[in-house]
A and B are shown apart, each in its own frame.
Chain A
C-alpha cells in the first residue's frame, strides 16, 4: 500500500553512551567507504571515510571499522549527544568506476 515504506533499523541510545551502527556492503570490488549523516530536511553530510587498505580510522568522536572478509562496516560514535540524532548511511565506491552506492540507513535516536 501507499503507506508501506522502508523499515529503517533504529538504534536508540541514552545520551552519553556509545553508539555502534552497522552496515553490510555487497560489492567485493568496492575499495572506498563513507559514512553519511542525514538530518531531517537536509542532504546527507560526510562524517568519515575509509579506504580498503585500512581496517580502522578515527575522527573526532567517531571511528569507522572495516572488515573486508565479511564485507562489513561499522560506525562508532563515542559519548552520543542529542545532536547526533539522525539517519546514518554507509556508502561504497570502487575506484575503477567511481560509482557511489548507498545502503538503506539506520535511524539513531538519542534519549536525553
Chain B
C-alpha cells in the first residue's frame, strides 16, 4: 500500500478563496483523522470519521471549515472563505481500528496570503 495520500502537498491561495484538501486513507482502514499543525497550537485534531461517519468535529475552528467522507477511500477538508490565520500544515491520518497505530500522510502546507 502507498500509505495515506494527501493532495496537494503545497497550496498558496488568496484570502477569501475556497481551499479543498484531499486525503486517501490506507485501504481497509475505518478511522480517518484530520489534524492541523501550527507553531502556536501544535498538532490539533479537527475532526475524525469512523466508517465514513463524522464522530467528533469539536476541533473544527469555525463554520468556514467543513469535512466530508463520501466513501471509504476519500475525504476532503474544505475552508471557505480562507483567511491568513488558516495557514498551517494539515495532516490526514488513518487507522484500522481502536488501539492501533495511526498512519499519517505527508501533509498539505497551506499558505493564505
Contacts and interface: CB of A to CB of B under 8 A. Distances in A.
Interface of A: 4-6, 31-32, 34, 36, 42-46, 49, 51, 89, 91, 93-105
12 contacts: A31-B99, A34-B102, A43-B91, A43-B107, A44-B93, A44-B104, A46-B103, A95-B99, A97-B56, A98-B31, A102-B42, A105-B43
B48 A34 contact: no
Interface residues of B, number: 28
The secondary structure that dominates the A interface is loop
B45 A102 contact: yes
Contacts of B35: 102
A93 B99 contact: yes
Interface of B: 4, 31, 33, 35, 38-43, 45, 48, 50, 55-56, 91, 93, 95, 97-99, 101-107
Contacts of B106: 42-43
B54 to A, nearest CB: 12
A41 to B, nearest CB: 8
Contacts of A104: 42
Contacts of A34: 101-102
